[in-house]
Amino acid sequence: MRQAAEFLSLPYHRTVERDPDGSWSAAVLELDGVFSGGDSADEALNALDEAMELWIELELEAGRSIPQPWGSRTYSGTLNLRLPKALHASAAARASIEGVSLNQLLVTAVASYVGDLSASATATDGRDEQDRRPNSAA
């Protein structure tokens, strides 16, 4: 079984921000419930390391798995998405109007929402012609 120290050395995403009252808050994005505070950013981050270690130790003792940092995860690029029929029809119509595949339209929409517009320029699933048809079931 992995020890807490092994997890602490992994590249987890830490955030630190100033609160309205002038204090500082810090959190680990991948570890739900791991957060801390302090009078300075450094103090909040140091307390975060302690909170992270304690949280990981408690999770391991309880036999729960610890999420990996986002950067170490791999993704296939394939996603099955269920949409209400009316939304599917609207999206297919919009893709047809714009002259793009339904896949390309949805990739662009997601990329725009999450702020990764570079992803929309490279998206294709090989079904562009089929997806451009207004009644496509894709």
Q: What is the 3-state secondary structure (H, E, C) of 65-85?
A: CCCCCHHHCCCCCCCCCCCCH
pLDDT in tens, 91-118: 999 999 999 999 999 999 988 888 765 6
Both 101 and 54 in a single domain? Answer: no
Give the residue with greater pLDDT, 15 vs 70.
Answer: 15
Both 11 and 64 in a single domain? Answer: yes
Residue 106 lies in a domain: yes
Q: Which amino acid is located at 127 in the chain?
A: R
Indicate the residue among 32, 54, 71 that finishes a domain. 71
Mean pLDDT, the chain, rounded, equals 84
Residue 137 lies in a domain: no
Both 61 and 82 in a single domain? Answer: no
Cα(101)–Cα(127) distance, integer angstroms: 7
Residue 92 lies in a domain: yes
For residue 77, the model assigns a pLDDT of: 85
Residue 138 lies in a domain: no
Cα(86)–Cα(119) distance, integer angstroms: 26
Backbone angles phi, psi at 58, to 5 degrees: -65, -40
Give the residue with greater pLDDT, 119 vs 38.
Answer: 38
For residue 60, the model assigns a pLDDT of: 93
Provide the residue range defining the domain that includes 36: 4-71
Both 66 and 96 in a single domain? Answer: no
Residue 56 lies in a domain: yes
**Cβ partners under 8 Å of residue 95, min gap 6:** 101, 102, 104, 105, 131, 132
